[in-house]
Amino acid sequence: MRTSKGRAERVPWTDIRAEAARRFGVTSFRPGQRELIESVLAGRNALGILPTGAGKSLCYQLPALFLEGLVVVVSPLIALMQDQLDHLTQAAIDTARLDSTVSEAEQRRQEHEIARGSRNVVLLTPERLENPAHVEPLKRRGVALFVVDEAHCVSQWGHDFRPSYLHLRQVIEDLGHPPVLALTATAPPERVRDILDSLGIPDARVIDTGIERANLTFEVLRTVNRGEKERQLLSVLESTPGAAIVYVATVRRANELHEWLCERGIPAECYHGRLRRRVRGAAQERFMSGGCRVIVATSAFGLGVDKPDVRSVVHWNFPDSVESYYQEAGRAGRDGLPARCVLLYRLEDRRVWSFLLAGKYPRAEEVRRVLRALEGAPGAEQGFTLSELAEASRLTPHRAAVIGASLEAMGTVQRTGIRFRARRRMQNGGREQFAADFAHRYAEDRERLHAMMHYAESTMCRMQFLREYFGEPQAERCGRCDNCMRPIPALRLARRPMSRPAAEPSAAPRFARGQRVHHARFGSGDVLRVEGDQVVVDFIRGCERRVLAAYLEPAA
């Protein structure tokens, strides 16, 4: 039975399984899929955190067969949308795709079919939904489910953040608050809260199946210079047959490393955001089809990449955060067979990220220029398009979009159609606070970068480190990472239950520099120094904190 309010009542699970087998060839469900599908069919908001390759798309593709109304799927990349369209078409589910590659005439035709009910699913980018004219056909049809794929792009804390994602909360309201399904591969606790708040679904059911993938082996190879990195990279590629992705931090390094590999007779492609779309597409197609074995890429290569037989993912530079690293490393071994995730670690690489982070967030003066344009420049009454706002504030369109979207999220700016206009004048104190918020985000980014360096330098089991970082319960050592296979001898201390702090400072346990300790709130870390009854600890989650020794316990 179907209803028009995004809720399919009394659908037996046997019927759902039958459709899964008939349409998608799925005879058994992976962890988390059933729970998410049942939440969707019950009309409940949900956030699914499932590892790369765990079948997130099925969680909305299958419900689309039972829901009365349109299933709207917001995807960040056109290539990802094409992959989804292919799967839906194979399953005989009528689907519309609306993006910049579709002609205006074809878009109008598809919007007409959506409004009259002949399409079950529509795939589009978040940028398209910034224009109310494109939201109207969806509203007329009635949306049964609003899907936010790659939901980590919603969070301003991530390297994949897209300013247009901040507008989705308003779109969801305009559509009458249909049930929302957000999907991502990785999200530590603070990222989960940010996603739910940004989408306006604090009551969502969170289904987190954990990050464990037993077929992946995590390794860190320490290097002292570029020559050593090159030798280690060649060693990995020679000792690990099959397709490989080599991630780098910058476009310049991608071009250089690609050329260097080709000179050594290794068939490789190059992929980054500054290449023309046609060139990028050809490189991706050659790699995906097996025409070349290696692709050297920036983080622009990733979302929507569904190549099951990648046997190794190598990071030439350490990424900006543990979340980014696990997301990218997780593109290895999607077929379930053994694969390697290798980080070539060189401490000096932090200079690259220090430079990139310094330019990531708008400065206080840039925020003031946008506010001056919106509040007092000629033409402010009519508002500004993004390109006009960028020109008036002397910023790049992306920079202006980040500031404009953030101001909209806090209610200072209103977006009508494609135009930004000031809703109210921000007082000086508010302006300074807004700029301070960006400074805070910068500080948080530095902590995440620090956590990534901590991962590279840690002697603990890599999977135990990752479990703790992502807020998962601890378990036994994985037995397959480099630190498990080649452990550094260390004193093992039994974990004792956390108790209340000692009544007297003298009763607090004594700790030594370099000792691993555990804190109930901040997790595990290494002692940097002891100052009386206080201990300065470098915690896994990327922060250095001073805590009372009585609140710490030796870590196992």
SS3 per residue for 36-51: HHHHHHCCCCEEEECC
Question: Pairing state of beta strands 523-531 and 534-539?
Answer: antiparallel
Q: What is the number of other CB atoms lying within 10 angstroms of the CB of residue 382?
A: 10
How many CA atoms are closer than 13 Å to the CA of 336, on its beta-carbon side? 3
The answer on 240 and 202 residing in a single domain is: no
**Residues 98/111, Cβ–Cβ less than 8 Å:** yes
The answer on 32 and 151 residing in a single domain is: yes
Q: Does 234 map to a domain?
A: yes
DSSP state of 505: G
Residue type, 140: R
Separation of alpha carbons 278 and 176, rounded Å:
39
The C-alpha angle 512, 518, 522, rounded to 5 degrees, equals 120
How many structural domains comprise the chain? 4
Q: Does 427 map to a domain?
A: yes
How many CA atoms are closer than 13 Å to the CA of 104, on its beta-carbon side? 0
Separation of alpha carbons 133 and 154, rounded Å:
22
**Residues 96/115, Cβ–Cβ less than 8 Å:** no
Helix, strand, coil fractions of the chain, as percent rounded to 5: 40, 20, 40
Written as tens digits, the pLDDT of the chain (556 aa) is: 444 455 656 788 999 999 999 998 888 898 899 999 999 999 999 999 987 766 888 999 999 999 988 999 998 777 677 778 888 888 888 888 887 777 778 888 888 888 777 788 999 988 888 888 888 889 888 999 999 988 888 875 554 566 778 789 989 999 999 999 999 887 877 788 889 998 999 999 999 988 888 999 999 999 999 999 999 999 999 999 999 999 999 999 999 999 999 999 999 999 998 898 889 889 988 999 999 999 999 988 876 577 889 999 999 998 988 988 998 998 999 888 999 999 999 988 888 877 777 777 777 788 888 888 887 755 556 778 888 888 888 888 878 887 887 777 666 777 766 677 776 666 555 666 666 777 777 777 888 888 899 899 888 899 999 988 888 887 889 999 999 998 654 433 333 333 344 334 444 467 888 888 887 667 788 888 887 777 888 887 656 777 778 778 887 6
Residue type, 131: N
The answer on 188 and 150 residing in a single domain is: yes
**Residues 299/305, Cβ–Cβ less than 8 Å:** no
**Residues 285/315, Cβ–Cβ less than 8 Å:** no
The answer on 159 and 77 residing in a single domain is: yes
Phi, psi at 235, each rounded to 5°? -60, -45
The answer on 195 and 69 residing in a single domain is: yes
Indicate which CATH number applies to the domain containing 392: 1.10.10.10
Phi, psi at 144, each rounded to 5°? -90, -25
Q: Which two tokens stand for residue 211?
A: 């990050």
Q: What is the pLDDT of residue 6?
A: 56
- Cα-to-chain-centroid distance, residue 190: 13
Separation of alpha carbons 440 and 371, rounded Å:
20
Give the bridge partners for 527, in sequence order: 537
The answer on 188 and 91 residing in a single domain is: yes
The beta strands (E) that lie in 252-347 are given as 268-271, 294-297, 310-315, 339-345
Query: Residue 90 belongs to what H/E stretch?
Result: helix 78-90
Q: Does 474 map to a domain?
A: no
Q: Does 133 map to a domain?
A: yes
The answer on 247 and 391 residing in a single domain is: no
Which of 70, 320, 104 has its CA nearest to residue 176?
A: 70
Q: Does 452 map to a domain?
A: no
**Residues 4/69, Cβ–Cβ less than 8 Å:** yes
Q: Which two tokens stand for residue 546?
A: 């001073």
Among 418, 443, 468, the domain boundary falls at: 443
The answer on 149 and 47 residing in a single domain is: yes
Which of 245, 456, 250 has its CA nearest to residue 353?
A: 250
The answer on 125 and 22 residing in a single domain is: yes
Among 168, 185, 208, the domain boundary falls at: 208
Q: Does 232 map to a domain?
A: yes
Instruction: Tell me the three state secondary structure of residue 145.
Output: strand
Indicate which CATH number applies to the domain containing 506: 2.30.30.140
Q: Does 451 map to a domain?
A: no
**Residues 178/143, Cβ–Cβ less than 8 Å:** yes
The answer on 159 and 18 residing in a single domain is: yes
Give the range of the structural domain holding residue 259, as residue numbers without chain letter. Answer: 216-355
The sign one gets for the Cα dihedral 526, 529, 535, 538 is negative
Which of 527, 463, 450, 459 has its CA nearest to residue 222?
A: 459
The answer on 152 and 25 residing in a single domain is: yes
Q: Does 480 map to a domain?
A: no
The answer on 102 and 36 residing in a single domain is: yes
Indicate which CATH number applies to the domain containing 237: 3.40.50.300
**Residues 370/356, Cβ–Cβ less than 8 Å:** no
Q: What is the pLDDT of residue 504?
A: 40
